[in-house]
Amino acid sequence: MPIGSALWRSLRAYQVYGANTDVGKTIMATLLCRALERRFPGEGVWYLKPVSTGLREEADDRHVARFSGSSTHCLFQFDEPVSPHIAARPFRLPPDSSILQKIFTQLSDYASISPGTVLLETAGGVHSPTPSGTSQADFYRPLRLPVVFVADHRLGGVSTSVSAFESLHMRGYDVDSVMLFRDTRYQNDEYLSEFFKNHGISTFSLPSPPVRRDCAREDGEAMAEYYERVTKLDEVDEMISLSVTRHKARVESLETLANRANKHIWYPFTQHGDMSPSSIMAIDSAHGDFFQTCKPNPSGRTLEASTLIQPTFDGSASWWTQGLGHANPTLSLAASYAAGRYGHVMFAGGIHEPALSLAELLLKAINNPRLQRVFYSDNGSSGMEIAIKMGLRAASVRYGWGGDSCSGSGEEVGILGLKGSYHGDTLGAMDCSEPSAFNRKVEWYRGRGFWFDYPRVKMIKGTWVVEPPEGLEDELGPGASFASLGAVFDVEARKRSCRDRSYKKYILSTLERLIKEERKRFGALVMEPVVLGAGGMVLVDPLFQHTLATVIRSTPRLFPPSSSPSPLPLNTWTGIPIITDEVFTGLYRLGRPASSSFLHIHPDISVYAKLLTGGLVPLCATAASESVFEAFLGEGKESALLHGHSYTAHAVGCKVAEVAVRELAGMEEAWKGFRKDWLEGTSRASSTEPEVWSHWSKNFVGELSHAKDVESVIAIGSILAISLHDHTGAGYTSTAANAVQKKLFSSTRANWNIHARVLGNVLYLMASQTASEETIRAVEGVMRDVLL
Amino acid sequence: MPIGSALWRSLRAYQVYGANTDVGKTIMATLLCRALERRFPGEGVWYLKPVSTGLREEADDRHVARFSGSSTHCLFQFDEPVSPHIAARPFRLPPDSSILQKIFTQLSDYASISPGTVLLETAGGVHSPTPSGTSQADFYRPLRLPVVFVADHRLGGVSTSVSAFESLHMRGYDVDSVMLFRDTRYQNDEYLSEFFKNHGISTFSLPSPPVRRDCAREDGEAMAEYYERVTKLDEVDEMISLSVTRHKARVESLETLANRANKHIWYPFTQHGDMSPSSIMAIDSAHGDFFQTCKPNPSGRTLEASTLIQPTFDGSASWWTQGLGHANPTLSLAASYAAGRYGHVMFAGGIHEPALSLAELLLKAINNPRLQRVFYSDNGSSGMEIAIKMGLRAASVRYGWGGDSCSGSGEEVGILGLKGSYHGDTLGAMDCSEPSAFNRKVEWYRGRGFWFDYPRVKMIKGTWVVEPPEGLEDELGPGASFASLGAVFDVEARKRSCRDRSYKKYILSTLERLIKEERKRFGALVMEPVVLGAGGMVLVDPLFQHTLATVIRSTPRLFPPSSSPSPLPLNTWTGIPIITDEVFTGLYRLGRPASSSFLHIHPDISVYAKLLTGGLVPLCATAASESVFEAFLGEGKESALLHGHSYTAHAVGCKVAEVAVRELAGMEEAWKGFRKDWLEGTSRASSTEPEVWSHWSKNFVGELSHAKDVESVIAIGSILAISLHDHTGAGYTSTAANAVQKKLFSSTRANWNIHARVLGNVLYLMASQTASEETIRAVEGVMRDVLL
């Protein structure tokens, strides 16, 4: 299970990385061991070589043991003096995660013995492969040990040292100090001292070791003399002092992070009145599905041997952004490539390859024949405002509503939506939501539109049901249960049901009342397809969303015919433009590129963000049909879509997104286990029944739905949402789920915990798209402990 | 002057980089030369070694010349076999830029001779220093030649090869193909083939060269035999075919970029009706202050020897974002570090070091004692909406205006601002602007507030004047001229003038009319300090902005006293909160961290974006006073500031910004020349007169102001704005500046051109904060040609 970052107050643990093989890592480690023994006689000094290749008698740990008094360990030893991935071939080794776990356990053991220092020496260079073939820099990254970097003193060593440093740096390692041998000819130490100084890192150059002799005894004597002499040098002592200082500083910085934040940070969506430093989670780093968070240690000294950092499952996928896991090196590399090729280049009237490639890829992935144009922005809220501007203008132009907003001559045009929808925090996006706790105190908020109530899908006590909203049972039909979630999503089959007819009738009569009787104007239908996120993770009956869109598109009497009598070209929007807000549900959250495909509709405008960059940087894409685009064509600038942020289509975001979308599209194989769990053994009720599945196991979801405190559950794609009984009816301001949230966070099972977010009485969990079955099942285990 | 990216249709130019020294770059180059000669007998094959160290007779170019028929050149040869930065010490070499120019010229020469291929071989590894000490990877980056990467076949070579590749990749190089020697023991070729395949790159492993012999003749014979044999191998031929294909594909992709963009991209602030592929600028890469853009080549074959790419001065600093130049490796590295350490981690209730460090650094840099809290968002528009929400709520709470927006019970609260202000494109930010061409057709726009007209500062025919707006000469006083721009900004001295008294009187009477007579409510003063950007680069009289803020803060009768009778603590806002929108002018655009400091006021809320990340990724910080913050304290979530984007405080943005702000703050030395030009020899009229200067030279600005077509000019910090005579009065929709814009873009002086943006009849130029005097003066030269 998750590996923790290795940080203890009493144990200083360093990882010795080399710029290349044969740069003197072991000699430097030996020197440091000796110097530490000398400096801290009462403390432990350990040397750990996880993987060693080459003859046992010449192995690095033997060398350290021979020339120092430190305790040494080697976990895997292969005789062949080649890279571990070749040397290990004849053997069957445990998977990477168990090896890393073993290393972490070994470090923890040292910490439990006494205060002291451990040096973990890697094999070869930073990217030398581990036995499984993973690069060491990636393999060891979860521990994120501070690095003692041994630079290369030889010809060419400036280059290999700088590159190796960059490889570590871009994986989020902190290089604590640099050591290398002094070489008067190549003088790499001089160049590199200056280079590392610019990165705030001190370099220590030491005398070269004696030249290797043929006679083992002489060689040993020469080395002994070398160690005796060099151990006592001021540089070595200084380096140890610096390491001690930096270790203390790291601990202190981590432990004061929350206090300092409490003074200067104004948090999003947070009532600071309830806040104290202890309620702020200090995040040291993150990896995969886990944060590495500062473990509160109120009792002080007694727990010194325990780690200061614990893995915390990122149960909201960091506000719904994480698709490919934290600190994904593929995304870091993509980001740095775009930064190095372009930085950011302005986008109005210009084009760069990442922006275009992403647009083409995205349009292909979402596979909606209507969508032909991509408009970039920075976040879902901005992207939704753009979508609204597009939709309203298209309707206004076609129906001749084109008033001048400045003079106030135009009549108000609103949107049609669903109750509980949420589209973002900027004002135009807020105005698309009905009045609620989110906007009650926003001075300029003004809901503009009409919001339909709708039947909800949920699992209650083991059964999937479609439940009409209170008071609408007569119009929309009574609650109904289904054999599977797939059957609920079988829109094709359900379209022939009498329920579909009631939906149609209800929608039509409501629209006729609003438009014909109340003389209201609507310029767009705006929907989050399938799941309403911020509104409480509500699973909407897909048939209702399908029918709503269909009625709007196919009832010309609701909207006056276009003034132009010419027949509309194919793919032209009818009724009013349909906008799907796929910021939350789009791009494989539910296992499909476009979640509107569950509704069997092709929207005219569709908005993607969050998962778009796999979870690294903000970016949003609003895709639109040519038919909507054409409403903005004209001669002057005034009729253009006058929207555009400075960093529109920033190259870093576009390149990262291009890589992320490709990676997400290639996840089918990784999801096989999840799909199997949901789909195997179930008989489909009709040939049109789609495959609907979740990362969260079918049994687990069923069990949860029977729990005492649970009203209902939904699970689809990577989303799990648990609605708890809420007797206060406080909605978003309810605190029903807070007790569960607290228990998950304070769970100490296996040294990790869960950070979950709540929306009123709903507690949800969300994994990244790359989360492993092992991780998900382990989280389910903790949930069972807490809720069942 | 600017170095172009080296791309020709008829010349295939490659750069040979090695993973380390001694990995066989020269042997690979020789093999390729021979194979090219064989494959394309009628074409040129050139080998260029810009810098060589070691004995002349053993130099790489001699080796290539000896074993192939190719034409070879070496530009700098040093006998000592050490890194060039050491070997070159005794010599006085030209600066990096001239050496690079020389290399570019050499490549161009080849291109002018005949079609063919050139291999430019680097020295040592990718980061080996050039004679000046710059890393090769950085030095050669402007050329951005496709790379033939020679990997390391030796023990440890996997690591050095992967790291060296990452160093190239993060600088935006495209590695075209990988070559290395086959080594049956270490099998690096096997591992690396797989690694590079995952990056879409083909690897070619070739037989090892013969072991070096003592006898020179035998050695030569063995090498000749080796070359003879290996040149003919299928792998070598295949590699050449691939390179040819990739070269063609690169050219084609670049030349079709605009066409493809025209189909799928919906551009910001762009009227697509006027657009064609030929009006889209295809950007291949960017470096420093220059884009590298595709040069249109309508006449086809006749120009084959000319480059397909030209440097284009980024005259809008990419929509006002560029502070530290495009593709700045320091920023790329910072971005990749944060990506590797965190990815993105959710921010509500969590803290990570880059977000906190940036907040602390920013508050320190802007040095406004009122500002204590930082709220992060993604762009200036969102950040301004947040500021507005803050300001309006603070006022509403204090004055008891707290209506419920949902029920519509609250009375409308507006803002006070300046005519022509622009704060962003999301609806709430738009509503802060008066009606204009930007918002006329936005269905939901509704200006909410009152906008003051104000005196403008401009240089007319060599003199700085303060000009009252038309019709307000009586109230605000007649136009006045000043000895220097510094004198205009001498707010302390001017505060004692009668002009200040007229400003006060005018402002006060206007506010009394609005508030007392018209019963309007205002919740915040919102201003872009000093320069109104999107409104047309208008330089506002700083005294007017100062007085406006002062009157609002110090006239209690305008705003009913607080219901709480207790004395207000220090730093509490008075009147209404003052918001400065420093998105454009802040963070050293005008040479100072906070441009509000020019106005001698400390705003209560201040918004920073654009330059915040030095120009790499979107990020915005809204800084607020504790006094504003406290208005949101309460018990429930409802009174919190319910705003927050998914990527709030994304680690990449925060880390990049932290580095960028530090770099910007350290620019004083680099700006010495610019300051000297403006300040030296001028006598200050008073002891309070501030130093106001620009990147654009004083003489040049003076000259421009006398030009026939020029109405007036402003220059401050990195901004130069030229107001052209506009007899149509069309404002933002004017096309007066378009002719100049076209001339700058089509200027072919010295093989580079200028991309400038216009705002109606105003054409502006803006350099990054790191732009060199050489660059600025060269741009001025082109401007002189066009305008004088």
Which CATH architecture group holds A376-403+413-455+490-619? 3-Layer(aba) Sandwich (3.40)
Q: Check residue A736 and give its pLDDT.
A: 76
What is the DSSP track for B662-701?
HHHHT-GGGGHHHHHHHHTTPPPSSTT-----BSS-HHHH
* pLDDT tens digits along B684-723: 888 889 999 999 999 999 999 999 999 999 999 999 999 9
Q: Check residue A728 and give its pLDDT.
A: 66
Can you tell me the mean pLDDT for A67-96?
92
CA distance B581 to A303: 49
Phi, psi (rounded to 5 degrees) for B268: -70, 140
Which part of chain B has CATH 3.40.640.10?
A: 381-646
What is the DSSP track for B346-404?
--TTEEEHHHHHHHHHHHHHHT-TTEEEEEEESSHHHHHHHHHHHHHHHHHHHHT----
Q: Check residue B304 and give its pLDDT.
A: 67
Q: Check residue B164 and give its pLDDT.
A: 98
Q: How confident is the model at residue A731 (pLDDT cuts 50, 70, 90)?
A: low
What is the DSSP track for B161-219?
HHHHHHHHHTTT--EEEEEEE--TTT-HHHHHHHHHHTTT-EEEEEPPPPPP-SSHHHH
Which of B140, B153, B160, B412 would best serve as a mutation to test chain A binding (most A beta carbons within 10 A)? B160
Question: CB distance A281–B637 less than 8 Å?
Answer: no
Between helices B651-665 and B353-366, what is the axis angle to 10°?
A: 30
**Residue ranges with strand state E in B297-353:** 309-314, 350-352
CA distance B271 to A633: 7
The secondary element (H helix, E strand) that includes residue A746 is: helix A738-746
* pLDDT tens digits along A407-463: 554 568 999 999 999 999 999 999 999 998 878 888 899 999 999 999 999 999 999
Complex ipTM more than 0.95, yes or no:
yes
Neighbours of A581 (CB within 10 A): 32
Q: Check residue A97 and give its pLDDT.
A: 93
Predicted TM-score (pTM) of the model is 0.97
CA distance A709 to A687: 37
* Gap from B660 CA to chain A (nearest CA, Å): 13
Can you tell me the mean pLDDT for A100-108?
95
Q: Give residues with Cβ within 8 angstroms of B596, minimum separation 6.
A: B368, B529, B580, B582, B602, B603, B606
Strand partners, B310: B293
* pLDDT tens digits along B345-369: 999 999 999 999 999 999 999 999 9
Partner residue opposite B158 with nearest CB, options A129, A346, A350: A129
Question: CB distance B283–A342 less than 8 Å?
Answer: yes
- Distance (Å) of CA A758 to CA A388, A390, A696, B29, B774: 29, 33, 18, 62, 57
* pLDDT tens digits along B579-624: 999 999 999 999 999 999 999 999 999 999 999 999 999 999 999 9
Lowest average pLDDT, out of B117-131, B257-271, B399-413, B439-453, goes to: B399-413
The rounded mean pLDDT for chain A is 93
B202, A197 in Cβ contact below 8 A? no
The rounded mean pLDDT for chain B is 93
Question: CB distance A349–B279 less than 8 Å?
Answer: yes
Contact list in B for residue A326 (CB cut-off 8 A) is 342-345
Can you tell me the mean pLDDT for B137-144?
98
Q: Check residue B565 and give its pLDDT.
A: 47
Question: CB distance A272–B163 less than 8 Å?
Answer: no
Question: CB distance A158–B406 less than 8 Å?
Answer: no
In the block, tokens 């403006």 appear at: B678
What is the count of residue pairs from A and B with beta carbons less than 8 Å apart? 655
* Gap from B345 CA to chain A (nearest CA, Å): 6
More confident residue, A610 or B684: A610
A154: helix, strand or coil: coil
A542, A489 in Cβ contact below 8 A? yes
* Gap from B231 CA to chain A (nearest CA, Å): 28
Q: Check residue B559 and give its pLDDT.
A: 86
Tokens of A6: 């290795």
Question: CB distance B643–A269 less than 8 Å?
Answer: yes
Neighbours of A64 (CB within 10 A): 29
Lowest average pLDDT, out of B270-284, B365-379, B467-481, B730-744, goes to: B730-744
Which of B163, B294, B638, B654 would best serve as a mutation to test chain A binding (most A beta carbons within 10 A)? B163
Q: Domain spanning B11-208 has what CATH number?
A: 3.40.50.300
Contact list in A for residue B404 (CB cut-off 8 A) is 440-441
Pairing of strands B578-581, B463-467: unpaired
Q: Where are the alpha helices (DSSP H) in A417-527?
A: 427-430, 473-476, 485-488, 491-494, 498-512
Question: CB distance B272–A339 less than 8 Å?
Answer: no
% of chain B exceeding 90 in pLDDT:
86
In the block, tokens 């440091």 appear at: A32
CATH number, domain A11-208+228-243, options 3.40.50.300, 3.30.70.20, 3.40.50.670, 3.40.190.170? 3.40.50.300
Contact list in B for residue A336 (CB cut-off 8 A) is 169-170, 332-333, 335-336, 339
Question: CB distance A125–B283 less than 8 Å?
Answer: no
Q: Name the closest residue on chain A to residue B760, using Cα atoms.
A: A637
Q: Check residue A614 and give its pLDDT.
A: 98
The number of angstroms, rounded, from the C-alpha of B398 to the middle of its chain's C-alpha atoms is 41
Neighbours of A670 (CB within 10 A): 13
Which part of chain A has CATH 3.90.1150.10?
A: 270-328+694-788
pLDDT at A58 exceeding the cut of 90: no
Question: CB distance A340–B327 less than 8 Å?
Answer: yes
Question: CB distance B356–A171 less than 8 Å?
Answer: no
CA distance A623 to A670: 28
Strand order in the sheet with A522-527: A371-377, A620-625, A605-608, A578-581, A522-527, A414-418, A449-452
Question: CB distance A647–B266 less than 8 Å?
Answer: no
Q: Give residues with Cβ within 8 angstroms of A166, minimum separation 6.
A: B163, B166, B167, B170, B333
% of chain B exceeding 70 in pLDDT:
95
* Gap from B457 CA to chain A (nearest CA, Å): 26
CA distance B319 to B429: 18
* Gap from B715 CA to chain A (nearest CA, Å): 22
Partner residue opposite B347 with nearest CB, options A268, A392, A410: A268
Q: Check residue B442 and give its pLDDT.
A: 87
The secondary element (H helix, E strand) that includes residue B97 is: helix B96-113
Lowest average pLDDT, out of A689-693, B373-377, B577-581, B716-720, goes to: A689-693
Length of chain A: 788
B740, B668 in Cβ contact below 8 A? no
Can you tell me the mean pLDDT for B720-747?
82
Can you tell me the mean pLDDT for B116-125?
97
* pLDDT tens digits along A484-496: 999 999 999 999 8
More confident residue, B302 or A725: A725
Can you tell me the mean pLDDT for B78-102?
91
Q: Check residue A645 and give its pLDDT.
A: 96
Q: Where are the alpha helices (DSSP H) in A200-289?
A: 216-231, 234-264
CA distance B708 to B250: 45
Which part of chain A has CATH 3.40.50.300?
A: 11-208+228-243
Phi, psi (rounded to 5 degrees) for A689: -65, 125
CA distance A315 to A786: 15
Question: CB distance B405–A439 less than 8 Å?
Answer: yes
Question: CB distance B125–A163 less than 8 Å?
Answer: yes
Which of A21, A170, A446, A581 would best serve as a mutation to test chain B binding (most B beta carbons within 10 A)? A170
Can you tell me the mean pLDDT for B160-177?
98
- Distance (Å) of CA A568 to CA A322, A523, B579: 41, 18, 49
A21: helix, strand or coil: coil
pLDDT at A570 exceeding the cut of 80: no
pLDDT at B300 exceeding the cut of 60: no
Q: How confident is the model at residue A635 (pLDDT cuts 50, 70, 90)?
A: confident
A289, A767 in Cβ contact below 8 A? yes
Q: Check residue A565 and give its pLDDT.
A: 47
pLDDT at A301 exceeding the cut of 60: no
% of chain A exceeding 90 in pLDDT:
86
CATH number, domain B381-646, options 3.40.1830.10, 1.50.10.10, 1.10.10.10, 3.40.640.10? 3.40.640.10
The number of angstroms, rounded, from the C-alpha of B628 to the middle of its chain's C-alpha atoms is 33
| Domain A270-328+694-788 = CATH 3.90.1150.10 | yes
Which part of chain B has CATH 3.40.50.300?
A: 11-208
* Gap from B22 CA to chain A (nearest CA, Å): 8
Question: CB distance B440–A406 less than 8 Å?
Answer: yes
Can you tell me the mean pLDDT for B772-776?
96
Q: Check residue B1 and give its pLDDT.
A: 77
* pLDDT tens digits along A502-526: 999 999 999 999 999 999 999 999 9
Neighbours of A276 (CB within 10 A): 10
Contact list in A for residue B635 (CB cut-off 8 A) is 271, 273-274
Q: Check residue B747 and give its pLDDT.
A: 80
Which part of chain A has CATH 3.40.640.10?
A: 376-403+413-455+490-619
Question: CB distance A327–B342 less than 8 Å?
Answer: yes
A118: helix, strand or coil: strand
Partner residue opposite A445 with nearest CB, options B279, B405, B635: B405
